[in-house]
Structure 1
């Protein structure tokens, strides 16, 4: 059904309605089509390409070595699922949650090929995929998780699309758990270590291909009281999380916002670069780090003996995830 042709060769395909090349929508058409928000949300902004995708590809082995502790809230959620449940992990990283419940089946995906390779080497069922375009059938899973992923999407349109994808791939009556970083930090000194996004990045961040707003969502959120006590020590003050149960068009949201109101940033700043320090002894064996230093994506910190990468974060304000 497919024929491989040399890139750049003249089109010889007789089926103009089926050929990928013939039906490809030019980037200019996508960015000028204000009504096609769903397609527009799938266009990855440059700031995510640079400061999320390329960074995690470069730091994958070191990042993985630091990611082994299971957050209690996530572990409790996965342990509560019925035997035989199929769990979809969107943005699985190094796969630390895959197999946590031995009675469930896990399928993970991540945009970073090096992280997916780590998962494969550990024997997990994984594939490379984008959170805003999950490669699963509608109603495929019994549950889905998105752990510390949504805050790496740089526009409201893309964040909403990622949530809609989680809704789509989980069957009626299924569950979705989402966690994100919060603006309200119990340890206010953390904000001093983050770099607020400056005007320098405004064009590639917002830009015509990255609309800040989407059309209204097709599902609703209904709050229910918090009943569990937050017990995650190292994650305390970092995450606002929600467990959603999907039944037709009504969503029940269990808000687990762990941050205090008095820690809100006075300037309402929510876009940050958060540094990742890759030690020299690890960076020396990484060709990606040498390239990153050469093109300005990373810089050296001789005092700390590390190559420093900036990761893009949209940190959520209280109630934003629920809305």
Structure 2
């Protein structure tokens, strides 16, 4: 069994050595730029880990693993454009380095490339893998649309938000594991249990991301702290703040949400202080723990030797206790 660092090194070397040498370099330079930013590569590593539960030579699925990472980065490229985000992983985003049109077109190219890489799997698995991947891609679009719809609403419920992050974030982690398991020859039951593990881990992962956007260290986190607060993003934290605030706190919170002109630092400080008063960090931590425990139940049920699952368990714990 490979460790997470070993798998990360393998897939990083493979992605670094990719060459997009077709004629239109203006199209492919941003693709290379995005992939060169690195990141945690959680999705391809999860695919390799699931495969490695059943088979040893992970190089056989570098194509699909690359596809899942290219697809993920495509979604980030377009997300950054839609959110007008200036930085990603400590570097300027594509639409800042180039322009909006380049970000749209290079993102489109990344989507096509992702499908090409994903199709590099054994023909006996091709239909199942591509059907799974296509469904997941649609679900992510649905999640993004929900996220956009929420921007116009103040009545978003906890259940609606959790469903949105399930679609927008969790399904890609889950399908990474399921595809890896299927390609490795897992039973359909094990593949589904690994999917559930990824789904619950993904919700916990996004909730942790919400938490770090308020309470993280900008130098470590790689993006500016308080971005969600500034754009009134309907995160779990804001939803629970509206739910648990007393009358005075609710008045203050609503005033900041409705304010059209404000000092950014002042708004971040004020809303964070309200979160502290209401106890939002603890509520979010508890929900992260709840989903982490669900994930572990699914992982325990996977019918392979317990020691083979140690790396997956360790990875989940690392993600839940991360500061970036």
User: Same-fold call, TM > 0.5?
Assistant: no
Higher strand share: 1
**TM-score range for the pair, normalised by the shorter chain length:** under 0.3
Higher helix share: 2
